[in-house]
Amino acid sequence: RRLERNKPQQEEDLVSVLADPVFPVVLDDGTSASLSLPEVLATLSQRDIASFSGLAAHQRQSWFQFLVQLGAIALHRGGLVDSPSDPVSWRGLLEALAPDPAWRVVEDDPAQPAFMQPPIKQGSFAQYETPDALDLLDTSKNHSLKAARLNIPSHHHWIFALINLQTLQGYFGKNNTV
């Protein structure tokens, strides 16, 4: 199972970023909310998000890049020039990009994709206890930002770590893995 957290699978683990409000945000008016990915994109189309709660400073660039690239790809493939302002339209655009399992945070079947995790034919998954253990750069040596500091991570912590890893991870050479 990907992103194993050493606990039995619960229904809440089958979270979809398209349907479930997993992203905590602070809106421009100061109120807090939790949004799904289509709701995030729709709200950003209105410029109403002040910040993303739980997003670490070193993850901001990759999160911004992810949102911009995903939005641009969805709009281009949907044949749109302007961003829709409603989550239903954004969800339709995102569903057209990938099948349902690709939007789930956790997927038990290794042959199926999961969010920011490609399917694999054979082999084993790396097991991570916390998203910050997955996310940290190799060169940090645990000096400035401590590894495994999150005791009870939420889905958005895993998502931000996966996006940061997939967007900014360097290449260690052939047959060299982290």
What percent of the chain lies above the pLDDT cut of 70? 68
* Amino acid of residue 38: P
The token pair at 97 is 């990009």
Query: Read out DSSP for 76-129?
Result: HHTT-SSPPSSHHHHHHHHHTTS-GGGGBS--S-TTS-BTTB---SSS-PPP-S
pLDDT in tens, 142-154: 444 445 555 556 7
CA dihedral 160, 162, 163, 166 (to 10 degrees): 160
pLDDT mean over 41-66: 91
pLDDT in tens, 115-144: 887 777 765 555 555 556 555 454 445 444
CA gap 112, 15 in Å, rounded = 15
- Confidence band for 9, pLDDT divided at 50, 70 and 90: very low
pLDDT in tens, 156-172: 877 888 888 777 765 55
* Amino acid of residue 101: P
* Amino acid of residue 49: I
Is the sign of the CA dihedral 112, 62, 33, 80 positive or negative? negative
The chain-wide mean pLDDT, for the chain, equals: 77
